[in-house]
Amino acid sequence: MQFVSAAAVASLGAWLLETPHADWTEGALAAVAWNTVMVSLGGMGLYDVMLDRGTVARVTANFLLVPGTAAVLAWLLLSERLSSLAVIGLVTASVGCWLVSARPSKPLPKES
């Protein structure tokens, strides 16, 4: 429902505020296909699987890894500069995700 309502609002905004024009090159079609299949449907599918297998806190903590992972992928694939701040952020987010996902070694005592 979120995607349908977002598409309706975006379409209305484009119809009212824009003059539609697109150059449907191979690159543009590949980008649209990638964003539709992998980013939107694949991402939501992965999110659903993660929710089925884990807790909401563990799944939500993984969102903190997205910016740092994107920076590393841009460095590897697009030769972009990887700043020390991005590396520090990724390490900090990774430690945070690990802390959220780590299971206690022994059960905590129950309070009476």
Produce one character per residue of 77-92: b if its CB has 16 or more CB atoms within 10 Å, e if not.
eeeeeeeeebeebbee
How do the pLDDT tens digits run along the chain, 112 residues long?
888 999 999 999 999 999 878 899 999 999 999 988 888 888 888 888 988 887 788 888 888 888 888 899 999 999 999 999 989 988 998 998 888 877 766 666 777 6
* pTM score: 0.55
